[in-house]
Amino acid sequence: MKKNLSLPIIILLFWSLFPLLWQLYTSFCTPEALTHPLEIIEHRWTLENYRQILKSDPPFIRYLFNSILLGITTTLLTLVFSLPAAYGLVKIKPYKAKLIRIILFGIALFPYVLLFLALLEIARDLNIGNNILMLSIPYSALSMPLAILLLTSALKDIPSELEEAAKLEGLNLAQRLKWILIPLIAPATSSTAILVFIFSWNEYPIALTWLSNPDLLTLPVAIARIAGSSVYSVPYGAYAAATVLGALPVLLIVIIFQKQIISGLTQGAIKG
Amino acid sequence: MTLILKNIGRRYGKSWVLRNLFLEIKDGECLALLGPSGCGKSTTLRLIAGLDIPDEGSIYINGRDLKNVSPSKRNIGMVFQSYALFPHLSIASNLTIGLKVRGATESEQHQKVSSILTLMKLEDLAYRKPAQLSGGQRQRVALARALLRDPEVYLLDEPMSNLDAQLRESLRPEIRSLILQGQKPVVYVTHDQQEAMAMANKIAVMQKGNVEQIGTPNELYNSPASIFVASFIGRPQINLLPPESGIIKGIRPEDIIINENGINSKIIYQEWLGSSKLIMLDTPIGELRMITSSNDQIPECPKISWDIKNEHRFELTTHKRLN
pLDDT tens per residue, range A23-47: 898 888 887 777 777 777 777 788 8
Q: What does pTM read for this prediction? A: 0.81
Interface check B69 vs A, CB under 8 A: no
DSSP string, A8-71: HHHHHHHHHHHHHHHHHHHHTB-HHHHH-TTS--S--B-SHHHHHHHHSSS-HHHHHHHHHHHH
Calpha distance B222→B219 (Å, rounded): 5
* Residue among A219, A196, A193 nearest A207 (CA): A219
Distance from CA of B102 to the nearest CA of A (A): 7
Give me the interface pTM, i.e. the ipTM.
Answer: 0.86
Cα angle for residues B107, B113, B118 (degrees, 5° grid): 125
Using the Cβ of B87 and the Cβ atoms of chain A, whether some distance falls under 8 Å is answered with yes
Cβ-defined contact of B88 to A183 (cutoff 8 Å): yes
B149 CB neighbours in chain A (<8 A) are 169-170
Q: How far is B131 from chain A (nearest CA, A)?
A: 14
Q: How far apart are CA B60 and CA B25, in angstroms?
A: 11
Does the pLDDT value for residue A98 go beyond 60?
A: yes
Residue B77 to residue A180, Cβ atoms within 8 A = no
Q: Indicate yes or no: CB of B49 within 8 angstroms of CB of A166.
A: no
Round the average pLDDT of chain B to a whole number and report it.
91
The pLDDT assigned to A267 comes to 56
Do the Cβ atoms of A162 and B86 come closer than 8 Å?
yes
User: What are the chain B neighbours of A184 within 8 Å (beta carbons)?
Assistant: 87-88
Q: Is A116:A209 a contact under the CB 8 Å cutoff?
A: yes
Q: How is residue A113 annotated by DSSP?
A: G
Chain A residue with minimal CA distance to B150? A169
Q: Write the pLDDT tens digit of every residue in B178-227.
A: 888 888 999 999 999 989 998 999 999 999 999 999 999 999 999 999 99
Let me know the angle formed at the C-alpha of A146 by A142 and A149, rounded to the nearest 5 degrees: 140
- Give the closest of B73, B75, B84 to A165, CB-based: B84
Task: Say whether B101 and A175 touch across the interface (CB within 8 A).
Answer: yes
Q: Which residues in chain A touch residue B87, judged by CB atoms under 8 angstroms apart?
A: 162, 184
CB B281 within 8 A of CB B304: yes
- Name the closest residue on chain A to residue B82, using Cα atoms: A161
pLDDT for the residue A2: 54
Answer for the pair B205, B215: CB distance below 8 angstroms, yes or no: no
- Does A152 or B103 have the greater pLDDT score? A152
Q: What is the pLDDT of residue A3?
A: 63
CA distance B238 to B241: 10
For B75, the closest chain A residue by CA position comes to A168
Percentage of residues in chain B with pLDDT exceeding 90?
Answer: 69
* pLDDT value, residue B91: 94
Q: pLDDT-based confidence at A269, cuts 50/70/90?
A: very low
- How do the domains of chain A map onto residue ranges? 47-266
Q: Quote the DSSP letter at residue B242.
A: P
d(CA B269, CA A122): 87
Instruction: Tell whether B145 is within 8 A of chain A (Cβ).
Output: yes
Instruction: Name every chain A residue with its beta carbon within 8 A of the beta carbon of B71.
Output: 164, 167-168
- Residue A144: CB atoms within 10 A of its CB come to 20
Contact criterion met (CB < 8 Å) for B98 and A170: yes
Residue B101 and residue A171: Cβ atoms within 8 Å? yes
List, for residues A14-25, the tens digit of each pLDDT value: 999 999 898 898
Average pLDDT of the segment spanning A232-257: 86
- Cα dihedral value B111, B116, B122, B124, nearest 10: 10
Are the Cβ atoms of B72 and A168 closer than 8 angstroms? yes
pLDDT in tens, B32-78: 999 998 899 999 999 999 999 999 999 999 889 999 999 988 989 99
Number of H helices, E strands in chain B: 8, 18
Give the domain A47-266 fold: MetI-like fold (1.10.3720)
Is B242 exposed, middle or buried, given 0-12, 13-18 or 19+ CB atoms closer than 10 A?
exposed
In the prediction, which pLDDT does B176 show? 86
Cβ–Cβ contact B256 with A under 8 A: no
* Contact yes or no for A165 and B86 at CB 8 A: yes
* Distance from C-alpha of B17 to C-alpha of B40, rounded to nearest angstrom: 6
Find the chain A residues whose C-beta atoms sit closer than 8 A to any C-beta of B. Answer: 159, 161-162, 164-172, 175, 179-180, 183-184
Cis ω before A111 (30° cut-off from 0): no
Closest CB from B77, B86, B149 relative to A162? B86
Question: What is the sign of the dihedral through the CA atoms of B30, B36, B41 and B46?
Answer: positive
Q: Minimal Cα distance from A183: which residue of B?
A: B88
pLDDT at B314 over 60: yes
How many H-runs (helices) and E-runs (strands) does chain A carry? 14, 0
